[in-house]
Structure 1
Amino acid sequence: MNKPIIMFDMDGTLLDLAFDDLIWNHKLPERHALTHKCSLEQSRATLYEFYQEHKHTLSWYSSNYWTSKVGVDVLKLQYEFQDKIAPRQGCFELLDHLKQQGYRCWLMTNADLASLNLKLENVNLRHYFEVIVSSEEIGYSKEFIEFWQIVQEKYPFDPAQTFLIDDTAPVLQGAGKFGIENLITILQPSTLNAPRNALELNYPAIQNLTELEPYLDQYQKEFNAKTA
């Protein structure tokens, strides 16, 4: 039986985005205000401007870039609060199921290598994945079609027989332009925020990660019908 490759995003998909929310929206503004002796409001305004300027670029995901930009050791800050790194609901149940069923799982993350390693030190995911890619290695973030082209050159795969599960719409759009056909998003990337409205999302959405299983079963039925 020909099984699709399952590609997973990390932050907001397999891991609770609450950790990143805590770091970037709370702890970094606090540390930035302390470092530069300004008010928390001023710090938030400054960082918000920086964030908007670099959103969806490689710099956005780079600990080194932000450390030099804002004068706070961002990676050290992440290590200070690493006990807050946690898997999302159904993460291990789904990955165990996929492994038992013989699916090939790949991890595709925009996290830089330092943040990726920190997270994998805290949540034991590495052994589930045949391929692990950080956009830092590729030179483009996942929002860009070039990311997927370079990944395919390095690790050949058929986009028509691939699933991508990711919480970020621009990433799913980039993957869709490249040709990945089976795109699924996440209802509640961060437990610090309310679930999103499924009707406002452009892709099928799941909450508990085990909800992916019926999509895979349906794909398999359709694939078998085509090749029968």
Structure 2
Amino acid sequence: MPSTNPNIPWDSIDTVLLDMDGTLLDLYFDWHFWMTFLPQAYANKNQLSLEEANRIIHQKIQEIEGTLNWYCLDYWTQTFELPVVALKREIKHMIQTHPEVITFLQRLKMLNKRLIMVTNAHRDSLTLKLEMTDIGDYFDQMISAHDFGIPKENGEIWQKIQEVAPFDPQRTLLIDDNLRALKTAQEFGIAHLLAATHVSAKMDKINPEHFEAFESYLEIMPQQPQKT
């Protein structure tokens, strides 16, 4: 397993592509919603036991994992016949950034890095999370995979992103907790790749496999520029 505390060549990086859920934001909000809150709502609506509701929901989620529909709130609203966006808003107080994320984004802007969010999240989910955090203040562009109809697990997306937000792959860093996204980005030619392993203090760390990785933003925090 690669060691943490990676040495990032910030002078060789112009563009930073950043994932949102699990990377910038604590993933526990999403985990709790899909594993606990939604099954309870589904059980109540359909007069099922919580155990049966869990079984049905988890089976449907597993069936389409890695596809764009897996991230699509419209799809799940239709599938479960529940107002998924409204239900998410009921527990929006649980949405939070990882420690030091805002400082990290501030440092990148001080270094004149171009920041682009690249998320598989549905636009409604993105809107909610931008309402509840300050991360949106630091991005030059925010791209949802739903804009293109394919997830980051599909390597074609990087060419599509490059067409709407031109970047030099050799001078670009992608930070993501999705290993399949990191692999497709690597195949596309993005030179600098970093796995965010600490998706939540309440959840297990991910195994970064062969990718360089970090657990805390303090490990990859750029130095504050010297005043001239």
Q: Give the whole-Å Cα distance in 2 for the aligned partners of 1:40 and 1:161.
A: 49
Match in the other structure for 1:225: none
Counterpart among 25, 37, 62 of residue 52 in structure 1 = 62
Q: What is the TM-score normalised by the length of structure 2?
A: 0.89
Q: Which runs of structure 2 are paired with 1:96-111 in the superposition (5 Å)?
A: 96-111=106-121
Match in the other structure for 1:145: 155
Runs of 4+ in 1 over 3 A off after TM superposition: none
Q: How many aligned residue pairs are there? A: 214
The answer to whether the 8 Å contact 1:206/1:212 transfers is yes
Segments of structure 2 that go 5 or more residues without pairing to the other structure are 1-10, 224-228
CA drift of 1:202 comes to 2.4
Q: Which runs of structure 2 are paired with 1:1-228 in the superposition (5 Å)?
A: 3-197=13-207, 201-213=209-221
Q: Give the whole-Å Cα distance in 1 for the aligned partners of 2:204 and 2:163.
A: 38
Identity %: 35
Instruction: Decide whether aligned partners of structure 1 residues 83 and 205 sit closer, same or farther in structure 2, where only a CA change above 3 A counts.
Output: same
CA drift of 1:2 comes to 5.8
Q: Give the whole-Å Cα distance in 2 for the aligned partners of 1:78 and 1:196.
A: 25
Q: Give the whole-Å Cα distance in 2 for the aligned partners of 1:43 and 1:2.
A: 50
Which structure shows the higher helix fraction?
A: 1
Q: Give the whole-Å Cα distance in 1 for the aligned partners of 2:101 and 2:121.
A: 18
What does the per-residue CA deviation read over 1:136-185, in whole Å, with 9 as the maximum and x for residues that have no partner? 11111111111111111111111111100000111111111111121111
What does the per-residue CA deviation read over 1:91-125, in whole Å, with 9 as the maximum and x for residues that have no partner? 01111111111111111011111100000010011
Instruction: Decide whether aligned partners of structure 1 residues 157 and 212 sit closer, same or farther in structure 2, where only a CA change above 3 A counts.
Output: same
CA drift of 1:126 comes to 1.4
Q: Give the whole-Å Cα distance in 2 for the aligned partners of 1:176 and 1:2.
A: 17
Higher relative contact order (CA 8 A, sep 6+): 2
Corresponding residue SS for 1:132? strand
The answer to whether the 8 Å contact 1:33/1:39 transfers is yes
Give me the CA root mean square deviation: 1.7
The answer to whether the 8 Å contact 1:91/1:210 transfers is no
The answer to whether the 8 Å contact 2:170/2:190 transfers is yes
Segments of structure 1 that go 5 or more residues without pairing to the other structure are 217-228
The answer to whether the 8 Å contact 1:135/1:147 transfers is yes
Q: Give the whole-Å Cα distance in 2 for the aligned partners of 1:33 and 1:95.
A: 41
Corresponding residue SS for 1:56? coil
CA drift of 1:19 comes to 0.5
Q: What is the TM-score normalised by the length of structure 1?
A: 0.89
Say which is worse superposed, 79-88 or 149-158, in terms of deviation: 149-158
CA drift of 1:37 comes to 1.0
Corresponding residue SS for 1:10? coil
Q: Give the whole-Å Cα distance in 2 for the aligned partners of 1:150 and 1:197.
A: 28
